[in-house]
Amino acid sequence: MPAAYYLPFLFVLGLCVGSFLNACIYRLPRGISLAAPPSHCPACGARLKPLDLIPVLSYLFLRGRCRHCGRAISPRYPLVEVLTGTGFLLIGWKYGLNLPAAAQLVFFTVLVAAAFIDLEHRIIPDRLNFFALGAGVILVALQGTGALKDGLLGAILAGGLLFFVALLSRGGMGGGDVKLALVMGLYLGWQKVIVALFFSFLLGAAAGLLWVYATRQNLKAVVPFGPFLAAGSFLAVMAGEEVISWYVSFLP
């Protein structure tokens, strides 16, 4: 099927998934069920109608405010929707319509939720990581024994490395980051996860230095590492093979 047919569909699907992710980002760290209560305004508790739940468009139509109480709606909602839609489109463009693409779409969905939850609450919920691991084992195993071995090796490598870093940091890195590293290795395999971790640490170090310079605070006050793991992972999803080929070209 030509990309021109399925890429718009993937973008719209991503917008809808992003709308669901907003519920996950709000509810999971608060221990609220994803099934009940129905979608409502966090400020006044009014139940939202279907017209209030159209990705991006509802936010624009309501001018970023609740129709019931007039309180401002966080711009995070359309941001997550557009980000997820764009990610789905790019993954579809890179991988096409196949099982590896489906695995990377699920992985990207988890990355978005983990990044925004960690950014706001400084945690990555176990429910999210365990879902990703369970789904990942199935999706990777369906791609063959070789893919599963590669994924398991990647999980051991990435999880072990971040566990070691967590021990050395003495609380500077949390258990949620270690579990997310397991997820990264499973979906990316051992070669791409090295690329992902390289970019994650590079971006994290750059952001940390900028934060220290701008705020004059010490490194312990820096933003959590989950968003950088997510960003590094997405770069590996999109360009991991190219980075590996570029690196290998320099070897004797």
What are the backbone dihedrals phi and psi of residue 182, each rounded to the nearest 5 degrees, phi first?
A: -60, -45
- Per-residue confidence band for 122, with pLDDT thresholds at 50, 70 and 90: very high
* Average pLDDT, integer, range 70-96: 95
Q: Could you give the count of Cα atoms lying within 13 Å of 241 in the half-sphere of its Cβ?
A: 4
Question: Is the pLDDT confidence value at 60 over 60?
Answer: yes
Q: What percent of the chain has pLDDT over 70?
A: 96
Average pLDDT over the chain, rounded to whole?
A: 91
- Average pLDDT rounded to a whole number, residues 63-73: 88
Compute the CA torsion angle 19, 58, 228, 238 (nearest 10 deg). Answer: 70
Measured CA to CA, the distance from residue 251 to residue 143 in angstroms comes to 30
Residue of 247, 166, 155, 151 whose CA lies nearest to 199:
247
Closest CA to 151 of 175, 173, 166, 134: 134
- Residue 220 — very low, low, confident or very high, per pLDDT cuts 50/70/90? low
Quick check: 219 pLDDT over 70? no
Q: What pTM, to 2 d.p., does this model score?
A: 0.94
CA distance 11 to 33: 27
The pLDDT-based confidence of 232 (bands split at 50, 70, 90) is very high
Q: Is pLDDT above 60 for 221?
A: no
For residue 128, the model assigns a pLDDT of 97
Residue range 100-124: mean pLDDT, rounded = 96
CB 1 within 8 A of CB 97: yes
Residue whose pair of structure tokens reads 């999880």 in the numeric block: 159
Could you report the per-residue pLDDT of 5-54, keeping only the tens digit for each?
A: 889 999 999 999 999 999 999 999 999 888 888 888 887 878 888 888 89
In whole angstroms, what is the distance from residue 225 CA to residue 220 CA?
Answer: 11
Model confidence at 171, pLDDT cuts 50, 70, 90, reads low
- DSSP structure class, residue 30: G
**239-to-156, 193, 199, 205, 245 alpha-carbon distances in Å:** 22, 12, 11, 21, 10
User: How far apart (Å, rounded) are the C-alpha atoms in residues 128 and 189?
Assistant: 20
Question: pLDDT by residue (tens digit) across 129-146?
Answer: 999 999 999 999 999 999
So what's the pLDDT on residue 168?
A: 86
Greatest alpha-carbon pair distance for the chain in Å reads 67
Residues 158 and 207: beta-carbon distance below 8 Å:
no
pLDDT > 80? residue 212: no
- Whole-angstrom Cα distance, residue 134 to residue 77? 27
**pLDDT of amino acid 39:** 85
